[in-house]
Amino acid sequence: MMQEASTTETPAKLSAKLRVEGVSLEFPGGDGRAIKVLNGIDLAIAPGEFCTIVGPSGCGKSTLLSVIAGLLAPASGRCLLDEKPVQVGNPRIGYMFQSDTLLPWATALDNVRLPLEAVGRKDDGRCLDLLRRVGVGDFAASYPWQLSGGMRKRVQLARLLAQEPDVLLMDEPFGALDAQTKLLMQEELLRLWESTKLTVLFVTHDLSEAISLSDRVLLFSARPGRIKEQYDVPLDRPRQIEEIVSDPHYNELFVRIWRSLREEIRLS
């Protein structure tokens, strides 16, 4: 029997790497009235946990990542890393956007060097090793325009790891990829996460991706976003993407999350 969805905080409350407390946010509307985007988000993510957010379009998923990264100031509440307030530009928090953020005039190696150069370091051996780990070691001298979409994502991931973060914020990083490349990138991310045990907060519209990757799935309500439900993912690790979809727990969880998500989509 699968565990019922919960609306309360998990044991991560006892030992959180990343904590969000009472975060709300408003944006100015066109008619002069404020539009509430986030509504009292409380979240605790344990060290090494892989947590994913799903929800309707426009519910504030990506906005929450920007608040956690310090790029947006909340109207109320706070975000803590190891129980200390997050400061903008904290290198211990890595942020991978959906859009391609590689410098087009720089080679793959030069792009991966950037986080080290920003702090006055040089370690080409490490940068080359990271490119090899993500499967593009033979393309270190290539420019982004010479790489496929999937290869550019791999370089972005290597650059993020060069930063040596404790927490990865990932905003639909594979959303623009074709289905086959997306599956390969999911496998790559699982392999890297299992070897590093970084704390990950991942945003996606893809329920299959959310379940396949995560320890826990958070379902956001329609705007203003709040955590409506959360689901523990009862799938053993390490995981193989091609095997997960045939697991009856996967199918049962997919249906349960979709039914609740569908209600929120109709409200959005």
Domain boundaries, the chain: 11-92+165-267, 102-164
Q: What is the pLDDT of residues 115-133, one digit of tens each?
A: 999 888 999 999 999 999 9
Sheet of strand 34-45, all strands in order from the earlier edge strand to the far edge:
34-45, 18-28, 76-81, 84-85
User: What integer is the mean pLDDT of 135-162?
Assistant: 96
Check whether the bond before 238 is cis (ω within 30° of 0): yes
Task: Retrieve residue 166's tokens.
Answer: 């404790």
Pick one of 3.50.50.60, 3.40.50.300, 2.40.50.140, 3.40.30.10 as the CATH number of 11-92+165-267.
3.40.50.300
Residue 12, pLDDT > 50, answer: no
Residue among 56, 54, 81, 65 at smallest CA distance from 25: 65
Q: Indicate the pLDDT class of residue 88, thresholds 50, 70 and 90.
A: confident
Sheet of strand 227-232, all strands in order from the earlier edge strand to the far edge:
93-96, 167-171, 199-203, 50-54, 216-220, 227-232
Residue 223, pLDDT > 50, answer: yes
- Residue 267's pLDDT is what? 86
Above pLDDT 90, what percent of the chain?
A: 82
Above pLDDT 70, what percent of the chain?
A: 95
- Residue 33's pLDDT is what? 85
Q: Indicate the pLDDT class of residue 5, thresholds 50, 70 and 90.
A: low
- Residue 89's pLDDT is what? 81
Q: What is the pLDDT of residues 16-42, one digit of tens each?
A: 999 999 999 999 887 778 899 999 999
Residue 249, pLDDT > 70, answer: yes
Residue 113, pLDDT > 90, answer: yes
User: What integer is the mean pLDDT of 77-106?
Assistant: 92
- Residue indicated by tokens 């650059």: 159
Cα(134)–Cα(161) distance, integer angstroms: 10
Residue 56, pLDDT > 90, answer: yes
Task: Retrieve residue 256's tokens.
Answer: 């349960």
Q: Is the pTM of this model over 0.85?
A: yes
How many other CB atoms are there within 10 angstroms of residue 8's CB atom? Answer: 8
Higher pLDDT: 213 or 267? It is 213
Alpha helices, DSSP H, located in the chain:
61-68, 108-117, 124-133, 149-162, 179-196, 207-213, 241-244, 248-267
Q: Indicate the pLDDT class of residue 91, thresholds 50, 70 and 90.
A: confident
Q: What is the mean pLDDT of the chain?
A: 91
Residue 76 main-chain phi, psi, to 5 deg:
-155, 160
- Residue 14's pLDDT is what? 57
- Residue 268's pLDDT is what? 77
CA distances, 54 to each of 29, 192, 219 (Å): 25, 22, 5
Alpha helices, DSSP H, located in 19-172:
61-68, 108-117, 124-133, 149-162
The DSSP secondary-structure symbol of 146 reads G
Label the pairing between strands 84-85 and 76-81: antiparallel
User: What integer is the mean pLDDT of 138-142?
Assistant: 97
